[in-house]
Chain A
Amino acid sequence: MIIVKDVTKRYARAVAVDHISFSVAKGQIVGFLGPNGAGKTTTMRILTCFLSPSAGTASVAGFDILEQPFEVKKRIGYLPETPPLYPEMETAEYLRFVGKLKGLSGADLEKRVNYVCERCFVADVRNKLLGKLSKGYRQRVGLAQAIIHNPDVLILDEPTAGLDPKQINETRDLIKGLAGDHTIILSTHILPEVEQTCEQVLIINKGKLVATDSVRNLQARARDAETLLLEVAAREGQPDPLLVQQKLEGIPGVSRVLCTDSKDSGLIFEVQSQKGQLVRGDLARAVVASGWDLCELRPAARSLEEIFLQLTGSEAPQS
């Protein structure tokens, strides 16, 4: 659906995007991840034909962004970082205006306006001035605006930025609901968002693409040796941490055991196993056989955050 080939964008003093290539299949949600100033917005602006690349090319739905920008624009819905709203317009009027710009008219236009109002939960502010809307509503009107002409491709630049947690969840659900009908690229610097909404991740840093993979593969990649979290409790009082540690270390395949935390009745251990060794069953049996209770046993999956930091080698992103 989207093919980007060697796209470079140079500004007067800096290279914003440096030879980026990737492709996105139809119906996918792709997360475009990177620290601030990594080149996410620039890449998206190039895809939407707002900016022209300095070198390289891209195509959307089979149309080249330089040769046939008109056809590309017809097939793209774009939500910029700040929703492009006219404060003096009312919601429905604004959506009608955008619809007309995108080539809708007559009954079709009315139908789409009603549809996106319902879909993006802005029907209750139809007749309010956009300038008076709260941030959450503005963002949703922005989304409604992006899907009004039912585009094949949706490009969303930080769609959840500046929203409160409830609104973030609503917006994420909304975006997930839109997948399938649309191919979606969304940029963010918020990691859990990618883990929750996207199937595929593109990590970009300083204008360069540093990783492209599915979310699951990326998580697996970071998990070179399995780490397990184990909560052990005793019937009466706490089990002796040293004893437990010795017991666990005695299991073949376990490389390291650390007591990381203690709760009122239980102790939490972090157990690292050697690569390719399955030790969970042995761990459980050993604990139970020693007369302790096994309260919890789960893999400590490294979050995408660590992978992200490892790949970008930058300051911690906001989460």
Chain B
Amino acid sequence: MRNIWTICSKELRSYFVSPIAYLLLTMFALIFGFFFWNALGYFVIAGLEMQLRGQNFPMNVNEQIIRPLLSNASVVGLFFIPMITMRLFAEEKRSGTIELLATSPVCDIEIIVGKWLAAMILYACLLFFTALNFAFLFLYGHPDWKPLAVGYLGLLLQAGTLLALGTFISTLTKNQIIAGAATFGVCLLLWVLEWTSGYESATWAHVLAYLSVITHFESFAKGVIELKDVIFYLSGIFLGLFFTARSMESMRWRS
């Protein structure tokens, strides 16, 4: 446990002493801020139109701002995840510091969880900026906080799965660009798998759509915790970390 924290804090430090963390935070804040501004603008105009037409259709901040924005955040997150995970192992392999970690009395799994946890914390920092935007809604309106909290839980779980896969991909190469590109490909694929269900109703399409990380996020965005989705993400995290451990183990045999 102590070792996990040692590794994790070292990783966090290298994120935050290099420009990586600040670059990602800035970009994410900008992009999400833009989404937020748009969503809010649309909401305000729609509200005005309702009033002008004298309709009394109920407007709901949760349904009309928070829910789509959470879905947006989950998609934008997909693009940031490769940038968070690509260096985790690839950099250590390239610079040779992996030899230090692998010859220290630390379990592989402690190294892996430490690194993954650091990636999770950085991702949580990104999400913090979305929370800053949502804070305005609470200042001027009365949205329900519970669906929002569930949404964040979903975002973290979804990111956990993708970060674990990214960590795994990072162990496969010495080259950060390759790790990043491959992770990006996998993230994108896991997103678009869902599209098959739009036109095809055969079983295989359902299976493919079920594998999509986005499908399982929808209920979280609604504010509903579904056990099957939680289990999907948790098993994704487990699978990713398990592959990472096997990959590290195989380094001892191949190298």
Q: Which of A11, A50, A97, A103 contacts B99 (CB 8 A)?
A: A50
Query: A100 near B: Cβ within 8 Å?
Result: yes
Q: Which of A50, A74, A86 contacts B102 (CB 8 A)?
A: A50
Residue of B nearest to A48 (CB): B103
Query: A76 near B: Cβ within 8 Å?
Result: yes
B247 CB, nearest partner CB in chain A, Å: 15
Residues of A within 8 Å of B102, CB to CB, are: 49-50
Query: A162 near B: Cβ within 8 Å?
Result: no
Q: Do most interface residues of chain A lie in helix, strand or loop, or is the interface mixed?
A: loop
Contact A84 B105 (CB under 8 A): no
- For window 144-185 of B, CB contacts with A under 8 Å fall at none
Query: B41 near A: Cβ within 8 Å?
Result: no
Residues of A within 8 Å of B201, CB to CB, are: none
Cα A88 to Cα B16 in complex, Å, equals 10
Given contacts A76-B103, A78-B99, A101 and B252 within 8 Å (CB-CB): no
Query: B255 near A: Cβ within 8 Å?
Result: yes
Given contacts A97-B6, A100-B6, A51 and B99 within 8 Å (CB-CB): no
Cα A85 to Cα B105 in complex, Å, equals 18
Q: Which of B3, B106, B253 contacts A52 (CB 8 A)?
A: B253
* A287-306 Cβ-contact flags toward B at 8 Å (1 or 0): 00000000000000000000
Contact A73 B10 (CB under 8 A): no
Cα A84 to Cα B95 in complex, Å, equals 7
Contact B100 A98 (CB under 8 A): yes
Contact B105 A74 (CB under 8 A): yes
Contact A45 B255 (CB under 8 A): yes
* B88-111 Cβ-contact flags toward A at 8 Å (1 or 0): 000000011111111111100000
Query: A262 near B: Cβ within 8 Å?
Result: no
Cα A74 to Cα B2 in complex, Å, equals 16
Residues of A within 8 Å of B18, CB to CB, are: 88
Query: B17 near A: Cβ within 8 Å?
Result: yes
Q: Do most interface residues of chain B lie in helix, strand or loop, or is the interface mixed?
A: helix
Count of A interface residues, CB-CB < 8 Å: 31
Contact A70 B10 (CB under 8 A): no
Cα A100 to Cα B119 in complex, Å, equals 21
Cα A12 to Cα B254 in complex, Å, equals 8
Residue of A nearest to B99 (CB): A80
Contact B255 A70 (CB under 8 A): no
Cα A85 to Cα B97 in complex, Å, equals 6
Query: B38 near A: Cβ within 8 Å?
Result: no
Query: A145 near B: Cβ within 8 Å?
Result: yes
Residues of B within 8 Å of A80, CB to CB, are: 96, 99-100
Query: A265 near B: Cβ within 8 Å?
Result: no
Contact A101 B104 (CB under 8 A): yes
Contact A50 B252 (CB under 8 A): yes
Given contacts A50-B252, A73-B104, A88-B17, A101 and B6 within 8 Å (CB-CB): yes
Contact A86 B97 (CB under 8 A): yes
* A41-61 Cβ-contact flags toward B at 8 Å (1 or 0): 000010011111000000000
Residues of B within 8 Å of A50, CB to CB, are: 99, 102-103, 252, 255
Cα A86 to Cα B14 in complex, Å, equals 9
Query: A82 near B: Cβ within 8 Å?
Result: yes
Residues of B within 8 Å of A52, CB to CB, are: 252-253
Residues of B within 8 Å of A78, CB to CB, are: 99-100, 103
Residues of B within 8 Å of A49, CB to CB, are: 102-103, 252
Cα A86 to Cα B98 in complex, Å, equals 11
Query: A102 near B: Cβ within 8 Å?
Result: yes
Cα A69 to Cα B110 in complex, Å, equals 15
A67 CB, nearest partner CB in chain B, Å: 14
B93 CB, nearest partner CB in chain A, Å: 11
- For window 59-108 of A, CB contacts with B under 8 Å fall at 70, 73-74, 76, 78, 80-89, 97-98, 100-103, 105
- For window 197-229 of B, CB contacts with A under 8 Å fall at none
Q: Which of A74, A81, A84, A97 contacts B10 (CB 8 A)?
A: A97
B3 CB, nearest partner CB in chain A, Å: 7
Cα A42 to Cα B251 in complex, Å, equals 13
Cα A50 to Cα B254 in complex, Å, equals 11
B189 CB, nearest partner CB in chain A, Å: 30
Cα A110 to Cα B252 in complex, Å, equals 32
Residue of B nearest to A16 (CB): B255
Residues of B within 8 Å of A51, CB to CB, are: 252-253, 255
Cα A76 to Cα B99 in complex, Å, equals 13
Residue of B nearest to A84 (CB): B100
A129 CB, nearest partner CB in chain B, Å: 9
Q: Which of A82, A85, A102 contacts B104 (CB 8 A)?
A: A102
Residues of A within 8 Å of B100, CB to CB, are: 78, 80, 84, 98, 101, 145
In order of increasing CB-CB distance, the 7 nearest A-B pairs are A84-B100, A101-B104, A84-B97, A73-B105, A48-B103, A80-B99, A100-B6
A-B contact pairs, 22 of them (CB 8 A): A51-B252, A52-B252, A52-B253, A73-B104, A78-B100, A78-B103, A80-B99, A84-B96, A84-B98, A85-B97, A86-B10, A88-B14, A89-B13, A97-B10, A98-B104, A100-B3, A100-B6, A101-B6, A101-B101, A101-B105, A101-B106, A105-B2
